[in-house]
Amino acid sequence: MRQLLFILLLAMLGLPSLAQDNELDCDSVLEIWQIQGAGDEANCMRTRIRTEGNIVTAIGPNGFFIQTPVERSDNDLYTSDGIYVTTRQPAASWGLQVGDLITIDGGRVNDAFGTTVLDISNPSQVEIISSGNALPEPFDLSTVDITDYGGALHPMERYEGMLVKLDNALVVAPTNRFDEFGVTINNSRSYREPGIEPDATPQFAGLGLPEWDLNPELLEVDPPEMGLEPLQITPGAVVNIIGNIAYNYNDYQIFPSMIEIVQDAEFAVRPV
């Protein structure tokens, strides 16, 4: 739904479409970066595909992440090498381990709350080729140019599903009732800049009005998504994070496989 609304909005504004690549043969063996494409809309949506020889980078209660080995990456700054595979049951019970090199046959490309996923329902759809493989080096999110959107509507789209890291990340939002907390990738507090939300006021397009960038440097961190215990953490704390980028309920998030508290912050009562 998110992608459909974005495409309709672009059509209204007379901007290039972020739709699927109609020239891609979805019946062929696909690389993850071919599935993800260079925009917000994944290729081969709602189609069953085969992708071979990708590395399991993280395993959670309801799925796992896979990533293209470095030597097969297209090295395109605007296409992601990673994707989340939903199993709807503990993937660890299938005998999968981080570092496995696997092939997935019959995974259905789908949209889950804004994240491109491969849906599978049976262990027979996964073939383990080898185990104990080195993981791709986590991409350092502190190096992201948040002004460069590429072909997408958010600079984090190009890293969706990929293994990432943030060192000495500043916590700017406390743990909420969903067990999520907020960090920035630039280690400084974010402020709401002047301007209007661009996707909320298409009737003002072309008038030269200032637009708010929606603070793309802000990310939510959701420990339970990968089976970690919730952290009751306060703004001002500093953490190291390794995890994978996802999009969930209108926010880009890190589904963390590791969180290290570098510096804790004293709990403060929230104003009312």
Distance CA 130, CA 109 (A): 24
pLDDT tens digit at each of 272 positions of the chain: 344 444 444 434 333 345 456 689 999 999 999 999 988 889 999 999 999 999 999 999 999 999 999 999 999 999 999 999 999 788 888 999 999 999 999 999 999 888 899 999 999 999 999 999 999 999 999 998 877 777 777 888 999 999 999 999 999 999 999 999 999 988 777 767 676 666 656 666 666 666 666 667 789 999 999 999 999 999 999 999 999 999 988 889 999 999 999 999 877 666 66
pLDDT for res 2: 44
- The answer to whether domain 2-130 and domain 139-263 are alike in fold is yes
User: Cβ(190)–Cβ(206) under 8 Å?
Assistant: no
User: Cβ(82)–Cβ(66) under 8 Å?
Assistant: yes
pLDDT for res 12: 40
pLDDT for res 201: 62
Distance CA 68, CA 55 (A): 6
**Measuring CA to CA, how many Å separate 194 from each of 59, 120, 182, 201?**
40, 44, 21, 15
Q: Which residues contact 92 (CB under 8 A, 6 or more apart)?
A: 59
14: tokens are 């007379």
pLDDT for res 5: 42
For strand 139-140 and strand 163-173, is the pairing parallel, antiparallel, or unpaired? parallel
pLDDT for res 213: 61
pLDDT for res 8: 41
Q: Which residues contact 124 (CB under 8 A, 6 or more apart)?
A: none
Q: Which residues contact 145 (CB under 8 A, 6 or more apart)?
A: 155
Domain residue ranges of the chain, discontinuous segments joined by +: 2-130, 139-263
Quote the longest CA-to-CA distance of the chain: 57
256: tokens are 């963390």
CATH class of 139-263: mainly beta
Helix locations, 55-102, DSSP H = none
User: Cβ(128)–Cβ(102) under 8 Å?
Assistant: yes
Distance CA 77, CA 74 (A): 9
Yes or no: domain 2-130 corresponds to CATH 2.60.40.1930: no
